[in-house]
Homo-oligomer: A and B are copies of this chain.
Amino acid sequence: MSSEDGKPVRPMSANSRPAPASATRVRPRSYSRIFSIAAASAPDMPPAKTKKPFTPKLERFLATVAYDGTDHIGWQVQTGRLSIQGELEARMSRILKTPIVIHGSGRTDSGVHSVGQRFHFDAFWPHPCSYLVHAMNSCEQNGLLVTQIQRVAPTFHCRWHANGKRYRYEICDGYPPPWEARFCLGLGMKTVDVKLMRQAAKLLLGKHDFYAFGANHGQGMEKENPVKELRRLEVRRRGKRITIIAESSGFLYKMVRRLVGGLLRVGEGKMTPERLLAYRKERAITSEVPTAPARGLFMEKVFFKPGSFQNPRVLRSYKDSDSSE
């Protein structure tokens, strides 16, 4: 995304609505510099037909990224800190040779992992998308892996067209082995009653005000509607591993981790399922419902409104372009 004078412009916030599609298609300075050489005619030759200057047509791409969030400050770019968004933008700008700004379908916190985080960006890439996936992954990985890139309609927006998300939280009995310790909360000497946790989970399901499970309401960020539709809240046990799956129309800040924290308190027998339900109804933010550590949390899937990324703009044929890129 570039302004008229060619300088890259960072949107004020990842939450701001994107500029209209026409504005995002302004030709960046870097392309014009490359192709103006091809357009110039040799000095002692008859003046060549004035070639139409090359205008790379930007397309919108939707990508999926998996990451190990342990060493990252979270999704959002922060000056001088390693963030997922910052790392992805740096790689993409290097490959596409022009400043690229990406828009995530949401922001994950410091330490939270992802399996299916989605983001979109606008770029000129006249090759198959799989080549871009390879280019993105072939450098030092830093715990990031782009698993898929596809062309989508230019009107698609990764955040405004999302209508739900699924998170997964991994817990294990005792202490996890070192190769799972970054991705799983160990219970140590504690034991939990999964049946009680399932009871509590059932009580929380449905469209309700989840204010009690949010954090930092309206502190430095826009006020969010605390009414969410919690479609799924499952507690599974398989051997030593307990997995909690939460699917909702949207989540408040730290909501999954506070839901898990509450369920664990119930499982440990320190709170009844009814008490947890009462906290939700009373809209009471209490230390009785702790925030579970980030390390067990995976952003698993983003759901989009049906048909929202269809009708990708037809790709300009590779042979038509003056570019050798």
Contacts and interface: CB of A to CB of B under 8 A. Distances in A.
Stoichiometry, copies per complex: 2
A189 interface: yes
Interface string A231-243: 0000000000000
A144 B181 CA distance: 9
A178 B188 CA distance: 25
Interface stretch (A7-15, A134-142, A303-311): A134-142
B143 A178 contact: yes
B67 A113 contact: no
- The binding surface of chain A is classed by DSSP as mixed
B138 A178 contact: no
Contacts of A182: 68, 179
B137 A67 contact: no
Contacts of A113: 178-179
Contacts of A144: 178
Interface string A199-216: 000000000000000000
Contacts of A67: 178
A178 B142 CA distance: 8
A145 B177 contact: yes
Nearest to A137: B175
A66 interface: yes
A178 B181 CA distance: 13
B177 A66 contact: yes
Given A134-B189, A138-B188, A188-B138, A145 B175 contact: yes
Given A138-B189, A188-B138, A183 B179 contact: yes
A141 B68 CA distance: 18
A179 B189 CA distance: 25
A80 B176 CA distance: 27
Interface string A148-180: 000000000000000000000000000111110
Q: Which 4 A-B pairs have the closest CB atoms?
A: A68-B178, A137-B175, A143-B178, A67-B178
